[in-house]
Amino acid sequence: MKLRALLAAATAAAALSAGAAAAEQVKIGIAAEPYPPFASLDSAGNWVGWEVEVINAVCAAAELDCVITPVAWDGIIPSLTGQQIDAIMASMSITEERLKTIDFSDPYYNTPAVIVADKSMDIEATPESLAGKIVGIQASTIHQAYAQEYFKDTELKVYQTQDEANQDLFAGRIDATQADSIAMADFVNSDTGGCCEIKGAVADDPAILGRGVGAGVRKGDDALREALNKGIAAILADGTHEKITAKYFTTSIY
């Protein structure tokens, strides 16, 4: 009888422990710097945008209690490996270089990298056309890695945020910028970006530009990675991903 009581108590304790673990919040790291239309602060100080809505939908589908946690972009991977956050969902491309440090979920969007310049400039998205030009790029991004590899005869100006590069493009302090096509489509359709246009997509290099955007997790955190995969698959299957996308974009970005 005493043995049964002990076993029952142990089982109850294990169940409580499992329940507590399941109830723990999952800190989803996003870049603290605004990156519209994916993530930015509204007038009330709330994070809004396509990626914010996708994060909430993925977490709901995966039955995860997630809290969005802003982190400076250049410190977001150290914050993950240092356990200040549990996952990264900040338009981070799945690259071989990053896979040496962290793991990724399945992709939840994939868009090309483009060159944007003033409408009056005769520029193409090629190393030859950009030779001798000043190109702005955001630090610690696939675009910086790509530009350093391919634009050998181009002067590169590195910014902490893409918005800073866009502002300098508008002001004429740089000739062009390279960034994600969707983010730049949002810029060129704005009042500030009306000066400029997308000149074309750069030649693809999956080793640098990656295989789409996924959620970054710590090495070995397979349970969270699989839970996020479950959530991503669910919102793709039930139309939620498409419904969110339609609010922000005219075409699919998956």
pLDDT tens digit string along 18-57? 343 345 899 999 999 999 999 999 999 999 999 999 999 9
Q: Do residues 79 and 103 both lie within one domain?
A: yes
Name the residue range of residue 65's domain: 22-110+211-248
Least Cα distance to 52 among 73, 21, 29 occurs for 29
Cβ burial, residue 16 (10 Å; 0-12/13-18/19+): exposed
Least Cα distance to 196 among 248, 121, 114, 113 occurs for 121
Q: Do residues 129 and 244 both lie within one domain?
A: no
Q: Do residues 50 and 76 both lie within one domain?
A: yes
Q: Do residues 34 and 148 both lie within one domain?
A: no
pTM of the model: 0.79
Instruction: Give the pLDDT confidence of 211-234 residue by residue, as tens digits.
Output: 999 999 999 999 999 999 999 999
Q: What is the CATH number of the domain that holds 61?
A: 3.40.190.10
Q: How does residue 254 score in pLDDT terms, banded at 50, 70 and 90?
A: confident
